[in-house]
Amino acid sequence: MSPVLSALLCLGLCLGQVICAPEGPLSEPSLQALPSSLVPLGTPVTIRCQGPLGADLYRLEKLKSGRYFDKAEIFISKMERDQAGRYRCSYQIGMRWSPPSSQLELVATETFPKPSLSAQPSTVVPAGVTVTLRCQSQYGFDQFALYKEGDTRPFKTPERWYRADFPIVTVTAAHSGIYRCYSFSSTHPYLWSAPSDPLELVVTEFTETSRKLNHSIAKEASTTEASRNITVLPKESDPPTGLALQHYTKGNLARICLGAVILILLVGLLAEDWHSRRKPPTMHRIRAAHRPLPPLPQTQKPHGRQDRGRPDGHSRGFRH
């Protein structure tokens, strides 16, 4: 068929209220809930389906309910339990329908009391460790969901009664944030409890930096201590020069001279002591001429008698 005939046929179909669409498969539309797919009971939410500009018709449907809406978006002024569930949408161009969008799970929250959320070992942890966030409920729920603020999907929904542990292995700074958890039953998967109180997880790099810094300080200290115990000698190729060599030589000469003087003094003292021990003692004799004379005796002369004794004053005897 020639291009002219194709154009005329297309124009005729358009006049017959049938749109001439380009060949090829249609793209998939997007479906989202605003402001969030987690909607507390009694609060508003908007479900919006978005496709290309040339779309003629949109259809929103709630799965397993038989209900659908021929429009691009629906507004729910107050969220109710029966409005929770899975939704999808599609659009039409000409006689063709687009493939369906990804399913949107619209969840009604605050239908049950809130669980509790805790962190082990702590809410402030260094990077690289494993942190376990535990969500625990007083009711026998078998489903739990953990959300981080800013994310659109939960971390996990493990199946366990009354509580669930969410381990985060090898945490990084990207895991820091505010977390909340929900509990619900597998028989009513779109009716959730109220969110737990927010838990802020802080992942720090401080401990790792401190470890490296302490290791560096310890290494430097050990090097310094070793340098104190090791005498570094100059290499043979790098002998002391100039003033350093002169001071070194003078110091050695002074030490040698001082040692020689002390040695000579010690030898002299030892020789003198040895000589004084071997020499016999000498008697210093004093000549008689040099001896002092004894004092003369003093004689008393009797009254009326002259001493007729010896000239030296000694008498030979007494007369009766």
CATH value at residue 158:
2.60.40.10
> Is the CB of residue 189 less than 8 Å from the CB of residue 111?
no
The verdict on 105 and 124 lying in the same domain is no
> Exposed/middle/buried for 185, CB within 10 Å: 0-12, 13-18, 19+?
middle
pTM score of the predicted model = 0.57
Q: What is the pLDDT of residue 176?
A: 95
State the pLDDT at residue 269.
82
Enclosing domain of residue 37:
25-109
The torsion of the CA quartet 67, 69, 72, 74, rounded to 10 degrees, works out to: -80
Give the pLDDT of residue 258: 81
Report, as ranges of residue numbers, the positions in the chain whose pLDDT lies below 70. 1-23, 156-159, 206-251, 278-320
Token pair belonging to 129: 């460790």
Tally of domains in the chain? 2
- Residues 105 and 120 placed together within one structural domain of the fold: no
Q: Specify the pLDDT at position 249.
A: 63
CA quadruple 105, 111, 112, 116: dihedral, nearest 10? 50
Clarify whether residues 134 and 157 are in a common domain.
yes
State the pLDDT at residue 215: 53
The pLDDT assigned to 270 comes to 81
Residue 200 inside a domain? The answer is yes
List, in order, residues 6 or more apart from 205 with CB less than 8 Å away: 126, 127, 173
- Whole-number pLDDT of residue 272: 77
Residue 134 to residue 263: CA distance in whole angstroms: 86
Q: Residue 30 falls within a domain, yes or no? A: yes
Residues 6+ apart with CB under 8 A from 48: 31, 32, 33, 34, 72, 73
- Residue 315: inside a domain: no
Q: How far apart are the first and last CA of the chain?
A: 209
What is the model's pLDDT at position 271?
78
Q: In the prediction, which pLDDT does 150 show?
A: 86
How many CA atoms within 13 Å lie on the side-chain side of 220? Answer: 6
